[in-house]
């Protein structure tokens, strides 16, 4: 879909090397935004940026490192003087039973799904409060409020990221910054393969969720977008 109000916006998308992040990158570029694409896989980002054209910028980083996230925000400001939209989308999981959940795995899951989102939110906020405007999109999950066997660490990290997001929403509103918590269900991405899980039947297409995100951030600023939950139709 085309959203006239997004034209020229400067956007960061974390986790842009595949899945929903890649779909978001395509959608923002189709809407004439300048899109910074970040993830750890430099080659995939470079290839995607080349395909998407001059408005797409490959900016490899690891969201679990707050310094790398901060430097990325500084690079955007030095090149474009502003950050209009920051999408905290990077995430992932590895399924594990309680017994097999090592401290290292627990840290890894929290580092990307919770701490990474916090670092991104802080980096975006530092610039957006100077601009007195900006949108921060948090890609959470129905796992934030649905308990799942062998996914306790992931569900808990997404729950923490959810409550963090809904709390800071109140803190930043007076600075003209809006926070959009988005709660997708099963999407047809590489996520399940990486997690050691099975793709749920009737999974949603990431491009459809990307369009919902663009629709949310394109609304007039006096419209409050309440948390949005999207489920695939699969029932156990």
Ligand X SMILES: NC(=O)c1ccc[n+]([C@@H]2O[C@H](COP(=O)([O-])OP(=O)(O)OC[C@H]3O[C@@H](n4cnc5c(N)ncnc54)[C@H](OP(=O)(O)O)[C@@H]3O)[C@@H](O)[C@H]2O)c1
State the residues that interact with ligand X by CB under 6 A.
Answer: 14-21, 39-41, 62-64, 89-92, 112, 139, 141, 184, 186-187, 189-191, 194, 206
Closest separation between CB of residue 138 and ligand X, Å? 9
**Cα separation values, 139 from 5, 103, 143, Å:** 22, 25, 11
Rounded to the nearest whole angstrom, what is the least distance from the CB of residue 189 to ligand X in the complex? Answer: 3
Of 139 and 159, the one with the shorter C-beta distance to ligand X is 139
CB-nearer residue toward ligand X: 34 or 39: 39
Q: 42-52 and 19-30 helices cross at what angle (nearest 10)?
A: 20
Residues in the chain: 236
∠155-159-162 over CA atoms, to 5°?
140
Closest contact distance (angstroms) between CB of 41 and ligand X is: 3
Q: Give the separation between CA 83 and CA 125, rounded to whole angstroms.
A: 9
Identity of the residue, 6 or 139, whose beta carbon is nearer to ligand X in the bound complex: 139
Q: Which of 148, 156, 165, 175 is nearest to 228 (CA)?
A: 165
Q: Which is nearer to ligand X, 81 or 107 (CB)?
A: 107
Shortest distance, position 72 Cβ to ligand X, whole Å: 10
């Amino acid at each position: 879909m085309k959203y006239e109000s997004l034209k020229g916006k400067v956007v960061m998308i974390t986790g842009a090397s595949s899945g929903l992040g890649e779909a978001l990158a395509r959608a923002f570029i189709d809407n004439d935004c300048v899109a910074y694409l970040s993830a750890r896989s430099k080659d995939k980002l470079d290839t995607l940026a080349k395909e998407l054209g001059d408005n797409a910028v490959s900016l490899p980083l690891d969201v679990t490192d707050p310094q790398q996230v901060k430097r990325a925000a500084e690079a955007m400001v030095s090149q474009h003087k502003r950050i209009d939209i920051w999408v905290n989308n990077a995430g992932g999981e590895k399924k594990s039973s309680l017994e097999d959940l090592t401290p290292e795995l627990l840290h890894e899951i929290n580092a990307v799904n919770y701490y990474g989102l916090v670092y991104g939110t802080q980096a975006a906020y530092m610039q957006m409060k100077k601009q007195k405007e900006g949108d921060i999109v948090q890609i959470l999950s129905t796992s934030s409020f649905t308990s799942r066997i062998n996914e306790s660490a992931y569900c808990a990290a997404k729950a923490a990221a959810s409550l963090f997001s809904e709390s800071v929403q109140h803190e930043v509103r007076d600075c003209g910054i809006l926070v959009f918590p988005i709660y997708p269900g099963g999407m047809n991405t590489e996520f399940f393969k990486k997690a050691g899980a099975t793709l749920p039947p009737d999974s949603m297409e990431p491009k459809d969720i990307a369009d919902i995100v663009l629709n949310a951030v394109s609304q007039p600023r006096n419209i409050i977008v309440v948390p949005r939950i999207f489920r695939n139709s699969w029932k156990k």
